[in-house]
Amino acid sequence: MSERRPVGVVGAGSFGSAIANILAENQDVILYTRHPHVAESIRATRDNRGRTMAPNVQAVTDFKEVAERCTLIFPIMPSAAFRDMARGLGQHLTPEHILVHGTKGFDVRLPEGQQLSHDYNLLPKRVYTMSEIILEETIVRRVGCLAGPNLASEMLAGQPAATVVASRFDEVVRAAQQALSTPRFQVCGSRDITGIEIAGVVKNVIAIASGMVSGLGLGENARALLISRGLIEMAHLGKMLGGDLSAFFGLAGVGDLVATCSSPKSRNYTVGYRVAKGETLAEVTRDFDELAEGVNTTRVMLGLANHLGTRAPLTETVHRILFDGLAAAKGMDEFMATSFQVDLDMSRLGAGRGEG
């Protein structure tokens, strides 16, 4: 193995484990888990809750050890735990560190006593991406994210895949590409961290809807309609929130969308499928060790759309099914019956004015 410094991964869930194994093809890896029994299992048998870890992945339970041994760190934690993780890890970080997160979710700071609902107007300043949390909670400035069609189970099996690393710093993109690139894992670069993060998050809402299409047996034509309309909705909202259009029509947007909308391996797809089969959201989420990010994202994106004064028909439909008691069959029927008189209108999205 190379004498390069180890690379850190914070989070030993399915995606964190997959990234750790890919990184291990190029250098040693320090994998943080908050569970001592998981760390001990990896050390003793290389088993991480059914996932086999590479021999040069060292499991630790101490943020300080990760920070002291690694300059490049990949935080990959559920969005609900990300801020606490950033605060804990941040106590040991310096400006020399580089953090590239792999979390596809939002963090929302609401006024005390307020909750997200179908008619809530959510100010964008109250919605944080994971890179914004890192900048707020740590001293690190060299921040990036990765997003793309990255189903963890396939990555753990060594199947080919690709991702996008986005950062405003070219050196962050280069460092991540050098650490992650393998013959079976391609790593593209982008400076549009806003667009890439939004694309990676919002596609989860569409994946939930796609699972509903499967659960209801509506067929592939209906799925194609849903994905194409969902992509337009995602690009429209994403551009209004400051993303570049190219992010939504690349790997992190349409690429990730195709993967998660077509695979029962996707947690968000599974939520939609099981809800469409008659289970409640509470029943479905009890079976997950990590909450499907699209559940919270549905609430967030509808609140943002309300504030922006724009319609988001698919997001509205998913919200009504998940949270307002609308039957999945009735909701999808209403969405499919919506009149779409115009196909993709690039001028409406801004590309016709030289933007994006």
Rounded-to-integer distance, Cα 131 and Cα 144, Å: 7
Q: Identify whether 203 is a catalytic site residue.
A: yes
For residue 111, the surrounding DSSP H or E stretch is none
Rounded-to-integer distance, Cα 187 and Cα 252, Å: 11
Q: Which of 104, 203, 265, 330 is catalytic?
A: 203
List the structure tokens of 91.
């106590």
- The bridge status of strand 161-167 relative to strand 185-190 is parallel
Q: Where are the beta strands (DSSP E) in the chain?
A: 7-10, 29-32, 47-48, 51-52, 57-60, 72-75, 98-101, 107-108, 127-128, 142-147, 161-167, 185-190
- The bridge status of strand 51-52 relative to strand 47-48 is antiparallel
Q: Are 234 and 203 in contact (CB under 8 A)?
A: yes
List the structure tokens of 179.
């650490």
* HSE value, Cβ hemisphere, 13 Å, CA-based, for 91: 9
* Angle (nearest 5°) at CA 309 between 206 and 212: 20
Rounded-to-integer distance, Cα 174 and Cα 267, Å: 30
Burial 100-129, CB ≥16 within 10 A → b, else e:
bbbbbbbbbeeeeeeebeeebebeeebbbb
Question: Looking at the annotation, which residues are catalytic?
Answer: 203
